[in-house]
Amino acid sequence: MKKSHQTDKAPKAIGPYSQAVEINDMLFISGQVPVKPETGKIPEGIEAQTKQVMENIGAILNEAGYSFDDVIKSTCLLSDMANFKAMNEIYGSYYAQNPPARAAFAVKELPLGALVEIETIAVKNS
């Protein structure tokens, strides 16, 4: 059975979608932009924005009973590939061992003027 997940420790959806949906021990986290849930603001710079995105993903994983160890796939969207190296360093610090499969793309622009957005898929290890 499909179950939606929502936490106040990550930004509210800015459209008609759930923060995450779980089905059959799989969690699909919607693309997270770097909005600080406490303030509704986006921090300056790619490093701070990537860290905030990863913190938002972590909060959703935690609320649903998952962890970064359960992540099997990420898709990283960047407003500029010039930010790839800096994003990669912050992103990689959350996956020191057994990193998930991943794709990274540059797109024309992201919601709210963000520099980075990341969507995530996690699976419970039985």
Residue ranges for the chain with pLDDT beneath 70: 126
Q: What is the pLDDT at residue 1? A: 87
Type of residue at 38: E
pLDDT tens digits for range 78-89 = 999 999 999 999
Distance CA(65)–CA(44), nearest Å, equals: 30
Regarding pTM above 0.75, the answer is yes
Yes or no: is domain 3-123 CATH 1.20.1250.30?
no
Q: In the chain, where are the structural domains located? A: 3-123
Distance CA(125)–CA(67), nearest Å, equals: 11
